[in-house]
Amino acid sequence: SSPPAPFTQTPSTYTPEQQQMIQQFAAQSGMNHQWSIKCLEQNGWNYEKSGEIFLELQKQNKIPPEAFTK
């Protein structure tokens, strides 16, 4: 299956807190919103855990280049 089309606006299906986390995570990780959401969702919206997982995957070069295209 093909990945969903990238979007620039955060969908309003997320709470304001989640939207803030997405913005912050995208800014800190350098990833786009789509991938930032994916990471946060997979880690139960635990920001700290998401950050640790991101750094670990980045060290292993397991994050695809498209995660960083805006």
pLDDT at 70: 81
pLDDT beyond 60 at 55: yes
- For residue 56, being part of any structural domain is answered with yes
- Mean of per-residue pLDDT scores for the chain: 89
Query: Are residues 63 and 57 in contact, defined by beta-carbon separation less than 8 angstroms?
Result: yes
Instruction: Give 40: exposed, middle or buried? Use CB within 10 Å, 0-12, 13-18, 19+.
Output: buried
Instruction: Give 31: exposed, middle or buried? Use CB within 10 Å, 0-12, 13-18, 19+.
Output: buried
- For residue 46, being part of any structural domain is answered with yes
The answer, as to whether pTM is greater than 0.85, is no
DSSP-derived 3-state class of residue 29: helix
CATH number for 29: 1.10.8.10
Higher pLDDT pick, 44 / 8: 44
pLDDT at 4: 54
- For residue 26, being part of any structural domain is answered with yes
- For residue 10, being part of any structural domain is answered with no
- For residue 62, being part of any structural domain is answered with yes
Higher pLDDT pick, 42 / 3: 42
